[in-house]
Structure 1
């Protein structure tokens, strides 16, 4: 992991729009994007687009980022569909931790289609969800519809939020603090899930259905 791939300012200054699109694609397309700064990168790109002479104008971000997100989702889905559940035993998935993968599988089996849309807004979840959708046998057309909706909302919404806030002097002067807040908010669902799981184990509550049963536990309505 290098500063260039984890620092949004450095990445944008070095690679411009192509760097932004590459990160968005890899984060969901190759099951190795857990460490990439998706939310903070798009927010920073939006803030920088609010400058008088931006390197990447906001209209170009709004048009191209959702397309890269959709393409990444499709790649992740096909990866899961071709390799099946075994893809979650790869080195990339193991780096995240077995408990996180199991939790994502159980959540996906329970919530199905809604997960494809909502995962776009949650760090880590957006990396795993396309692969889980493909491995579980979700219909490609169904997955694509929810993927497009989520990618448009996230890929256009986060840069636009940065663009609107970029006109505020405090945001420009304290961008590092604002980015920390963005990252913290995106990690809240993950942290709540970890804490909730530990509390359940501490209280002796039974765990949800085993992740190995995912394909059989996927609701019929999402196939």
Structure 2
């Protein structure tokens, strides 16, 4: 329970935790950033780690002069690209057997089904869109691997999506993260970054499910 409480507090107050880490450990923060993004995007059982909020805070800290923005973007890009490639490879290796899995401590079948429905509806562009959707971005490359999507095509969407995701959100944090209004409402913004994309993903999966039933 303590670990879960710390994780929730870390996600909701990532600005304070990350700033404290920078002040305490300096350049080691780039290794931490790589680890968080790689694990969130590359390990199917870790979809709950912060993504969008992390990028926004990194941009804000860089704008405040606490981090090197260009270096942070390079580290985050490499982590995001390698994470998706790892996830894709895992899905490709496991194959269709994954559809026989049930809910367990380490695998959320409902979240996987939502990602699969979203992928089936939007095809390869899902790899790009999923970058902005918590949970979905963890499962989308895995589903692409299970579906044996052509690796070269997947890689193109992977790289393109990573660039738009990392640069787009971190740039928003860099230019707007240190505005007083943003600081005063940061927790609400973090909640928005978590909930809004998630609701959009659920709605997309629901519509895909309705269309599939209608066609049947």
Give TM-score scaled by structure 2 length: 0.81
Contact kept, 8 Å, 1:49 with 1:58, in 2: the verdict is yes
Distance 1:143 1:12, change over 3 A: farther
Matched pairs, number: 201
Give secondary structure in 2 for the equivalent of 1:112: helix
- Describe how 1:189-208 pairs up with structure 2 within 5 A: 189-193=200-204, 206=213
- Residue 45 of structure 2, aligned match among 27, 32, 36: 32
For the structure 1 residues 78 and 194, does the alpha-carbon distance in structure 2 shift closer, same or farther, using more than 3 Å as the test? closer
Offset at 1:2? 4.7
- Given that 2:81 and 2:162 are in contact with CA atoms closer than 8 Å, whether structure 1 keeps it comes out as yes
**Larger mean Cα displacement after TM superposition, 10-19 or 76-85:** 10-19
Structural mapping, 1:122-137, within 5 Å: 122-137=133-148
Q: For structure 1, which segment, 3-12 or 109-118, has the greater mean C-alpha deviation from structure 2 after superposition?
A: 3-12
Secondary structure of the corresponding residue to residue 31 of structure 1 = coil
Q: Report 1:42-53 matches (<5 A).
A: 42-51=55-64, 53=65
Q: How does 1:144-159 map to 2 (within 5 A)?
A: 144-159=155-170
Unaligned runs of 5+ in 2: 22-27
State the partner residue of 2:88: 77
Cα pair distance change 1:12/1:67, threshold 3 Å: farther
Q: Structure 2 vs 1, CA of residues 57 and 165 (structure 1 numbering), >3 Å: closer, same or farther?
A: same
Aligned partners of 2:63 and 2:178 also within 8 Å = yes
CA offsets 1:198-221 (integer angstroms, 9 cap, x no match) = 9x5xxxx92777xxxxxxxxxxxx
Instruction: Give the Å deviation of 1:147.
Output: 0.3
What residue number does 1:110 align with? 121
Partner of 1:212: none
Alpha-carbon separation, structure 2, partners of 1:178 and 1:16: 23
Deviations 1:64-86 (A, max 9, x none): 21111000001001101111133
Instruction: Give TM-score, length-normalised by structure 1.
Output: 0.78
CA distance in 1, matches of 2:73, 2:32: 15
Which of the residues 67, 75, 78 maps onto 1:67?
78
2:29 alignment partner, one of 1, 7, 16: 16
Distance 2:153 2:189 in 1: 36
- Note if contact 2:124-2:154 (Cα within 8 Å) is conserved in structure 1: yes
1:191 to 1:67, Cα distance in 2 relative to 1, 3 A: same
